[in-house]
Amino acid sequence: MCGICGILRFEQGVEVDPAQVTAMSSSLLHRGPDDEGLYINSRVGLGHRRLSIIDIAGGRQPMKSQDTGSLQVIVYNGEIYNYRELRRELQGLGHTFKTESDTEVLLHAYGQWDHGCTERLQGMFAFAIWDEKNQSLFLARDRMGIKPLYYHLDRKAFVFASEVRAIQRSSLVQTGLEKSVLDAFLTLGYIPGRRTFFKGIRKLMPGHAMTVTAEGDVKSRRYWNFSDVQPANLTFADAMKRLRELLRQAVQMRLVSDVPLGVFLSGGLDSSAIAALMCQLSEKKVKTFSIGYDTDDGSNELPYARNIAEAFGTDHHEFILKPYDFLDAIPRMVEMAEEPLVEMPAIALYQLARAAKPHATVLLSGEGSDEVFGGYGLYQRMLMMEKGYPFLRFLKWFPRHLGSGDRISKYMDWVSSPLAARYRGTSADVTERIRGSFYSADYLRYVEENRYTDQVFSEYFDDVAHCDKLSQLLYVDSKTWLPDDLLLKADKMTMTASVELRVPFLDHEIVEFVSSLPANYKIRNGEGKFILKKVMEGLLPQEIIYRKKMGFTVPTERWFAGELLEPAKDIILGGRLMNTGWFQKKYLENMFERHRRGKEDYSRRIFSLLVLYHWLNIFT
């Protein structure tokens, strides 16, 4: 796992300043504390920070290759899990290798198959290759968006990096708030699609590659998608057998490492399944890491994680997160995530990664299972509403403030809209009726004129208009919430601690296979992740498989109604946020009072405003 960056200048006679690339690379130290490297050649400069995982001695970057008759130079972040198979295939085609690294395999794969190399890769990656012969940069990002890649493009230069901070350090880019995505953040808790919270900085989309020439010509293409996967004609028993094989294969591939491994263990189905498979497949004792809280409100999952650790005999480690540790960590979380996230578990993940670092450099997690197998209860509620929509759509004409509280407003917006207009992901918090109370009149007009969120979701729903409704929901979440929130959180929080995170459930072969299965293999009789649960029977205890889903919980409802209420209130109702002119103060005061009295849980919206406050302080 690493950090990459680079500059390509378009102006004739203007060369890259090595100091600029050095500054960019230095800002990525946390992503790669083990080594650094630069490549500077006239109009192009590449930088790399390395976290050594495979071939510690031989995998230094930037790495050069001249075996194909022309110079090619790569900077790469990630892991190619099938690199050994690709290496053997390339050797059969006449390629020779000097190292045991997957980086060299990737470089030779480009030399052999050019831009088509991406389709042959199985893993998580973001890379850039300077092709001297073609005078162009070729960049690609993995299928699911596990690894990030940002860029800035103008008439003078193309600047890219694993993180926004490196692009800012180039001194070639002036950034500020991208106002058009503010509503997306407040609504969803993240920024979907190509745009970021930073004006002038974009994301290379998952499953996409792009070519940038020295003259400034840019071409982008999507090299992978799963919207048109053909239905699998398999019995449930055969589907279970195939899924069991794919899960074992995915975990086995992710155990390749020259440094210690472990697993984040919450005690839920997903992380317990990964831990159990690791224990079956690993020759070494598996290390497990869990975080909990001093609380008796049901949010503490440590007892469940402890039961799994004892059942499989792991080397188990536990850590406790306290309320003020949580509040004090928000600015650090915002700074390292760069893009604001309403992900309260991000702080727990960051603290856990820091605690795990002395014991393991590579950690596996159960991330992505819900989006692949249909684990969120919201999916079932949406499908039920879909059945009743023809009879309920007239409710959209009811008064904006019908009922009391935002829960009623949100429900009214849901039941009065068709699926493609209603569904904005599992994290959607602000709907049309809520905006009318939450936003100021001026900002509400701006939002209604700049419907960025709707545009992004409409495109994805169009991709799968031919699919069943559950497949539509899973596809949309896999293209938005998953890469732009969950995976961004997972990458940034673990890399801040110089830890590599691997996510077996998002192996693209698993994603393709499960998407080919009938909806009732995924949700049946009110049971989400049905086929995964059946596959895990006999391996995990029944009480783990079928207990109520909690996720990576943090007890913020209680904290924000208790010891953190006044500190949060002082920050949000203070000058910085109120002076923006975006919000109605009366609404915010009422929000705090209702939360304090237990009338409604506003912890998510409180947290989103705290994150926004700190983002403005740090980045503007």
The count of C-alpha atoms lying within 13 angstroms of the C-alpha of 290, restricted to the half-sphere facing its C-beta, is 26
* 39 DSSP β-pair partners: 46
For 189-199, what is the mean pLDDT? Answer: 97
For 311-317, what is the mean pLDDT? Answer: 95
CB atoms within 10 A of CB 265: 33
Q: What is the DSSP letter of 6?
A: E
Higher pLDDT, 508 or 386: 508
Residue 357, amino acid: K
Burial class (CB in 10 A: 0-12, 13-18, 19+), 404: exposed
For 482-505, what is the mean pLDDT? Answer: 95
Contact indicator for 506, 123 with CB cutoff of 8 Å: no
579 has pLDDT over 90: yes
Instruction: Return the pLDDT at 189.
Output: 94
407 has pLDDT over 80: no
Instruction: Return the pLDDT at 345.
Output: 83
Read off the pLDDT of residues 582-616 as tens digits, 9 standing for 90 and up: 999 999 999 999 999 999 899 999 999 999 999 99
Q: How confident is the model at residue 255 (pLDDT cuts 50, 70, 90)?
A: very high
Contact indicator for 430, 453 with CB cutoff of 8 Å: no
Higher pLDDT, 379 or 399: 379
Instruction: Give the position of tokens 């130290």.
Output: 29
The whole-angstrom separation of Cα 80 and Cα 106 is 8
Long-range (24+ apart) CB contacts under 8 A made by 408-411 are 409/433, 409/434, 409/437, 410/434
The whole-angstrom separation of Cα 473 and Cα 383 is 9
Instruction: Return the pLDDT at 403.
Output: 41
pTM exceeds 0.85 for this model: yes
Q: Which structural domains are found in the chain, ordered by start?
A: 2-222 (3.60.20.10), 226-554 (3.40.50.620)
Higher pLDDT, 274 or 70: 274
In SS3 terms, 397-412 reads as HCCCCCCCCHHHHHHH
Q: DSSP string covering 154-189, please?
A: -SSEEEEESSHHHHHHTSS----B-GGGHHHHHHHS
Read off the pLDDT of residues 196-212 as tens digits, 9 standing for 90 and up: 999 999 999 999 999 99
Higher pLDDT, 433 or 307: 307
Instruction: Return the pLDDT at 227.
Output: 94
Torsion region of 42: left, alpha or beta (phi above 0 gives left; psi -120 to 50 gives alpha): left
478 has pLDDT over 90: yes
Based on the residue annotation, tell me whether 2 is a catalytic residue of this protein: yes
Contact indicator for 350, 335 with CB cutoff of 8 Å: no
Contact indicator for 58, 99 with CB cutoff of 8 Å: yes
Read off the pLDDT of residues 35-51 as tens digits, 9 standing for 90 and up: 889 999 999 999 999 88
In SS3 terms, 345-396 reads as HHHHHHHHHHHHCCCCCEEECCCCHHHHHCCCHHHHHHHHHHHHHHHHHHHH
The whole-angstrom separation of Cα 298 and Cα 320 is 15
The whole-angstrom separation of Cα 570 and Cα 272 is 40
Instruction: Return the pLDDT at 394.
Output: 47
Residue 548, amino acid: K
Q: What is the DSSP letter of 8?
A: E
The whole-angstrom separation of Cα 523 and Cα 377 is 10
Residue 151: which H helix or E strand, with range?
strand 150-153
Q: How confident is the model at residue 178 (pLDDT cuts 50, 70, 90)?
A: very high
For 419-428, what is the mean pLDDT? Answer: 86
Instruction: Return the pLDDT at 67.
Output: 63
2, 5, 117, 467: which one is catalytic?
Answer: 2
For 133-159, what is the mean pLDDT? Answer: 97
Mean residue pLDDT across the chain: 91
In percent, the amount of the chain with pLDDT more than 90 equals: 74
For 458-470, what is the mean pLDDT? Answer: 96
Structure tokens at 45: 């400069």
Helix intervals (H) in 231-317 = 236-253, 269-281, 302-312
308 has pLDDT over 80: yes
Read off the pLDDT of residues 493-504 as tens digits, 9 standing for 90 and up: 999 999 999 999
The arrangement of strands across the sheet holding 123-131 comes to 63-65, 72-80, 123-131, 136-141, 208-213, 218-222
Output the CA angle 34-39-45, nearest 5 degrees.
115
At residue 231, the 3 state secondary structure works out as coil
Residue 109, amino acid: A
Instruction: Return the pLDDT at 402.
Output: 41
Q: How confident is the model at residue 135 (pLDDT cuts 50, 70, 90)?
A: very high
Instruction: Return the pLDDT at 431.
Output: 84
The whole-angstrom separation of Cα 47 and Cα 39 is 7
Q: DSSP string covering 15-62, please?
A: PPPHHHHHHHHHTTGGG-BSEEEEEEETTEEEEEEE---SSTTT--SS
Contact indicator for 560, 593 with CB cutoff of 8 Å: no
The arrangement of strands across the sheet holding 35-41 comes to 35-41, 44-50, 2-9, 157-161, 150-153, 202-203
401 has pLDDT over 50: no
Q: What is the DSSP letter of 259?
A: S
**Of the candidate ranges 58-72, 280-294, 301-315, 567-581, the one whose mean pLDDT is the lowest:** 58-72
Q: What is the DSSP letter of 219?
A: E
